[in-house]
């Protein structure tokens, strides 16, 4: 058990700055998810914590120990890899206990821990199998078993579920949660899947091009995204961002439409006037025959429980038609046809305002 | 594979049998020759067995050819075996460690090392045989097992094969082992060696036969009959001044000389074929 602290971490690959000035504390026993688009440095950050990459500068602390220049094996961490990295020539039992064997832990102790982990992960009957005789989900469990038996102070997960099919992924996600509730070991988890991030995390770190875009609870990140990037990255479909104007406590679309649902006072920008970026999630645009926003339906995606309508605002600026298209989440039973004009209202009190220049949230 | 029926099947069997007959015929002739006394073989090639098969084999195994120094064949076969095993195992040991260093360690000049090793692939042994002999002579390697083995022990081909095989080992496996606490040596012994088991078996077979069949080098580096190897020993038996070659005995030696490589191939066939076709990852 230990917290993890990153202090001013820089990482450069051949003059390519991958991480710059990362400062971060993962509290003891918490589950932290690093999320971001590919190439944002999340895997690199994880590998630096694991000790598989040397940081260019900065300090990594695990508990009270400065581990910056320690070998991975001395950091008391365990890692689960995306492609499982099981030893193909060892059976499940040997795979799970290899780390213990290398560390010279006696055979009966190894056996006790392996059986315990196998029971926890539902691997009881599989200990004699070879990795190639296992399904993807079982291999993933073996990889976790290998991490668990080490009883490390930190678990590191590098996109562990991304090789599994969708069903299995959902199931394993729940198992991971259960496991964490049981073991309460500090965990750092890397993924590019924002659903995984939202559901697993106690804390989410959104990374972009090597720096922290936002670090907070899932609710913080979803309900109060710190920037346009976070707003659009988290949540599916991604948040609609439209240009708007704030004036006298009201918000106007570029064509002059006054929004009745979103008032400046509701979203804490009473004092502000001028151009803003208005963020509206697809579920915060409500179908309303009396609504003040008119949009033309372009493409309709029926998801069963919901219908997603990709729409163009009627009077949008013709040059910027693409950027001002919006996605609306309708009820599953509502199926407008392509080309229909529908009317919407912004849900009262919902809406995010960002600065047009800095793209940061206006408080 | 397509299962053939009727005529097609008979035809393919006929072709296979014909091919087998062509390959086996010289062996048959050698065996027949062994079963006669030497005067029968002067000027004729009998096609059916005589009476002296056992006697001739016993002669070469116990006494050897009187005219060629009288070294029993089992001594030569012993020499050949030591040389072939030394070359095969030595090549494997050197290549696998060299490839391990090239693939898994980051050091300056890594690529250069590989290129240098690779370049030697393009040079036939004969090109360097005179300087090699000079070196061997200066080191007092003449008429010794070290002289038979050491100059042939480095192998660019094997290094290259191991390198290619190691490069298919996923990077994550190495990282998982590092996190598990295995150092380079542990990783080599516990992961890399077992994973290259089938490749090693295939290489062993190929290299053993290569070593066993060495001809030119043993011819140069040995002078005493007690250090002769079978393959070159046969040549010595054929070229005896002022004597008729005793073909019945020479054929017996040739047949005995073929035996160990055959046994190695048969014994390791399963692993050998797997090593050539399968990647176990």
Mean pLDDT within B200-210: 90
A7 SS3 class: strand
Asked whether the predicted pLDDT for residue B1 surpasses 70, the reply is no
Quickly count: other Cβ atoms within 10 Å of residue B270's Cβ: 11
Identify the pLDDT of residue A79. 93
A77 → closest Cβ in B179, B186, B195: B179
Q: How far apart are CA A109 and CA A101, in angstroms?
A: 10
Contacts of B170 (CB under 8 A, 6+ apart): A83, A85, B281
Q: In this predicted complex, what is the ipTM? A: 0.81
Whether A99 sits inside 8 A of B180 (CB atoms) is yes
Round to whole Å and give the CA distance between A82 and A71: 21
Q: How far is CA A250 from CA A291, A358, B196, in A?
A: 16, 22, 72
With CB atoms and an 8 Å threshold, state whether B179 touches A88: no
Q: Which residue of B has its CA nearest to A88?
A: B281
CB-based contact (8 Å) between B281 and chain A? yes
- Please check whether residue B191 touches A, CB under 8 A: yes
Give the mean pLDDT of B76-101: 92
Searching chain A, which residue's CA lies closest to the CA of residue B191?
A87
C-alpha–C-alpha distance, residues B83 and A189, integer Å: 56
8 Å CB contact of B173 and A72: no
DSSP of A91-108, one letter per residue? -HHHHHHHHHHHTT--HH
Model confidence at A316, in pLDDT bands (50, 70, 90)? Answer: very low
CA angle, residues A340, A342, A346, in degrees to nearest 5:
150
pLDDT by residue (tens digit) across A138-166? 998 999 999 999 889 999 999 988 888 88
Q: What mean pLDDT do residues A39-53 have?
A: 91
Tokens of B209: 């036969």
Indicate yes or no: CB of B176 within 8 angstroms of CB of A85: yes
How many CA atoms, within 13 angstroms, populate the side-chain half-sphere of residue A11?
Answer: 28
Both tokens of residue B208?
């053993």
Task: Output the six-digit token pair for B153.
Answer: 């022990």
Question: CA of B280 to nearest chain A CA: how many angstroms apart?
Answer: 8
- In this prediction, residue A321 carries a pLDDT of 47
Helix (H, G, I), strand (E, B) or coil at B147: helix
For residue range A173-187, list pLDDT tens digits in order: 998 999 899 889 999
pTM, entire model: 0.81
Paired with A301 in beta bridges are A308
Paired residues of A330 in beta bridges = A307
| Contact (Cβ atoms closer than 8 angstroms) between residue A276 and residue A342 | no
pLDDT score at A106: 93
Q: Which chain A residue's Cα is nearest to B170? A: A85
Residue A83 and residue B172: Cβ atoms within 8 Å?
A: yes
Among A97-101, B6-10, B143-147, B179-183, which stretch is predicted with the lowest mean pLDDT? B6-10
Give the residue numbers in A contacting B (CB under 8 Å), as ranges: 50-52, 71-73, 77-79, 81-83, 85-89, 98-99, 102-103, 146, 150
Report the pLDDT averaged over residues B88-108.
91
């Amino acid at each position: 058990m230990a917290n993890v602290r990153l202090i001013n971490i820089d990482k450069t690959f051949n003059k390519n700055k991958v991480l710059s000035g990362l400062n971060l504390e993962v509290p003891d026993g918490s589950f932290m998810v690093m999320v971001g688009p590919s190439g944002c440095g999340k895997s690199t950050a994880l590998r630096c914590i694991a000790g598989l990459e040397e940081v260019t500068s900065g300090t990594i602390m695990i508990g009270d120990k400065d581990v910056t220049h320690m070998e991975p094996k001395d950091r008391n961490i365990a890692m689960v890899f995306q492609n499982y990295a099981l030893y193909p020539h060892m059976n499940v039992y040997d795979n799970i206990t290899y780390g213990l064997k290398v560390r010279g832990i006696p055979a009966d102790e190894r056996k006790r821990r392996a059986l315990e982990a196998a029971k926890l992960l539902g691997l009881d009957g599989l200990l004699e199998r070879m990795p190639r005789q296992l399904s993807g989900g079982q291999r993933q469990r073996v990889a976790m078993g290998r991490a668990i038996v080490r009883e490390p102070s930190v678990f590191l997960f590098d996109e562990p579920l991304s090789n599994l099919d969708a069903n299995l992924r959902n199931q394993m996600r729940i198992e991971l949660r259960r496991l964490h509730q049981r073991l309460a070991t500090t965990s750092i988890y890397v993924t590019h899947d924002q659903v995984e991030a939202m559901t697993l995390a106690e804390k989410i770190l959104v990374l972009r091009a090597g720096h922290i875009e936002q670090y907070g609870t899932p609710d913080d990140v979803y309900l109060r995204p710190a920037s346009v990037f976070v707003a659009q990255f988290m949540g599916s479909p991604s948040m609609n961002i439209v240009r708007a104007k704030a004036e006298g406590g009201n918000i106007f679309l570029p064509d002059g439409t006054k929004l009745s649902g979103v008032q400046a006072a509701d979203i804490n920008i009473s004092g502000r006037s001028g151009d803003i970026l208005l963020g509206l999630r697809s579920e915060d645009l409500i179908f309303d025959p009396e609504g003040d926003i008119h949009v033309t339906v372009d493409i309709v995606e029926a998801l069963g429980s919901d219908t997603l309508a990709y729409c163009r605002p009627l009077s949008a600026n013709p040059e910027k038609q693409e950027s001002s298209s919006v996605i609306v989440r309708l009820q599953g039973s509502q199926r407008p046809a392509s080309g229909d004009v529908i009317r919407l209202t912004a849900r009262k009190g919902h809406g995010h305002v960002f600065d047009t220049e800095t793209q940061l949230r206006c408080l | 594979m397509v299962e053939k029926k009727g005529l097609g099947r008979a035809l393919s069997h006929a072709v296979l049998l014909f091919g087998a007959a062509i390959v086996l015929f010289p062996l048959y002739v050698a065996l027949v020759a062994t079963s006669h006394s030497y005067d029968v073989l002067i000027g004729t090639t009998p096609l059916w067995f005589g009476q002296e098969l056992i006697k001739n084999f016993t002669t070469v195994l116990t006494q050897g050819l009187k005219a060629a120094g009288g070294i029993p064949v089992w001594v030569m076969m012993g020499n050949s075996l030591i040389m072939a095993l030394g070359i095969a195992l030595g090549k494997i040991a050197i290549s696998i460690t060299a490839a391990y260093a090239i693939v898994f360690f980051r050091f300056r000049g890594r690529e250069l090392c590989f290129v240098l090793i690779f370049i030697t692939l393009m040079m036939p042994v004969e090109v360097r045989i005179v300087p090699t002999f000079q070196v061997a002579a200066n080191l007092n390697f003449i008429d010794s097992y070290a002289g038979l083995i050491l100059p042939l022990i480095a192998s660019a081909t094997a290094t290259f094969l191991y390198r290619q095989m190691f490069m298919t080992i996923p990077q994550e496996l190495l990282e998982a082992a590092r996190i598990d606490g295995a150092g380079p040596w542990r990783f080599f012994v516990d992961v890399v060696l077992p994973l290259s088991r089938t490749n090693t078996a295939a290489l062993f077979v190929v290299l053993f036969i290569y070593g066993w069949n060495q001809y030119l080098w043993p011819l140069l580096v040995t002078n005493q009959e007690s250090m002769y190897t079978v393959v070159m020993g046969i040549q010595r038996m054929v070229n005896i001044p002022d004597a008729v070659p005793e073909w019945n005995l020479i054929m017996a030696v040739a047949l005995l000389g073929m035996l160990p490589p055959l046994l190695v191939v048969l014994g390791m066939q399963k692993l050998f074929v797997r090593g050539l076709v399968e990647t176990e990852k």
